[in-house]
Amino acid sequence: MDQQPKHIAVAGATGAVGIEILECLEQRNFPVSELTLLASARSAGKTLIFRGEEITVKELTPDSFEGVDIALFSAGGGISKEFAPHAVAAGTVVVDNSSAFRLDEGVPLVVPEVNPDDAKEHNGIIANPNCTTIVTLMALNPMHRAFGGVKSIIASSYQAVSGSGAQGIAELEEQIDALANDKPMPERNVYPHQIASNVIPQVDVFQENGYTKEEMKMHFEGQKILHAPDLKASVTCVRVPVMRSHAVAVTAVFNDKPNVEAAREAINAAEGVQVLDEPFADQPLFPTPLDCTNKDDCLVGRIREDLVLDNALTFWVVGDQVRKGAALNAVQIAELL
C-alpha cells in the first residue's frame, strides 16, 4: 500500500455505513492527511470523532472535492449519480457503495480478496458490490479457483433488517416490543409485512422475470467480479428478524469435481474468510449472524456434497453486511489505490 497520506472524503458520513467507514479507516490505520465529512444539508453542522478529533460535517455540494484524493460514497444511488461526476472532474477517485455504477462498462466492480487487479483499470470510479454478493463470493471464490471455475449457483439469503437502514432496525424493535408487551402492532413503514416473528421473501422490487432486483444482483455482479460471463445464479432473498449480518445458503456447481476437505483447505487459505464447520462435535459448530457481527471476516460452515447436482457443494456463509458487505470493502478498495 502507498503510505503517502491521502485527503479522504466520506459522502454520507452520518449514515450507518459512513460511520462504519470511519471506524475502518481508524482501525486499519489508513494514511489520512485530511478528512472531509459530507452529508445532506440536514446533517451539516453535526460533528463526528475521528482519531480523537472532532470533525464538523459539511454539506455535500458539487464543489466539495477540491484537493480530495479518494471519496468514499455511501449516500444512495441518486446522490452518487449526481455528485460522483463532480468528484471525478476534480481529480478525485470515487469508491461508490451504491448500485449506481456497478454494471457500467469501464467501472470496475471489486472485492479486494477476489479481483484486486480490476481496481487498477478505473476511470475515476470503482464500485462496491452488493453486500449479499460480497458475502457469498468471499466463500465461493476459493472454491471457484480450486475446482476449475463455478458454473452455476442456487442460493437463498437470510438478510438482517439493518440492510434497510436505521428504519428497519426501529421497525423490528417496535414490533418485538408490541408482541412482548401485548400492545397494538405499530404501523408498518419499511416492510410490506410484519417482520417480527416472521420472514419476508422479498428484498427490493420485483422484476419482469419474477425475481427481485436484489436477487438479480448476485447473477450479474457475480459474472462481472469472477470474470465468468456464463455463470448463472438463481437466488431467493429473504428478510429475517435479525438485527445485523447476512447469511446465505449456497449450492454451487463447478467444472471439476469438488470435495469437502479440499474446499475447507481452500477457504482457510484465503484472506478474509474462515471455516467454522464441525458438525460432529458434541455441540455442532457452524457460523451464525452473531458470530460475524462487527467482525471483518466472513465465516463458512455446513460444507457438504450436494445430493442432487453433479460436481456440486452446498454450504452456508455468514458476514457482517454493514462492515465487510459495505464499509470495510470500500476501505480495502481505497487501500488498493
Active site (catalytic) residues: 131, 246
Whole-number Cα distances in Å, 291 to 115, 203, 270, 318: 26, 23, 19, 8
Contact 6, 70 (CB under 8 A): yes
19 contact partners, CB below 8 Å, separation of at least 6:
13, 48
Contact 315, 135 (CB under 8 A): no
Query: What contacts 24+ positions apart, CB below 8 Å, involve 41-48?
Result: 43/13, 43/14, 46/14, 48/13, 48/14, 48/19, 48/22
Give the C-alpha separation, 111 to 119, whole Å.
Answer: 9
Residue among 80, 105, 79 nearest 95 (CA): 80
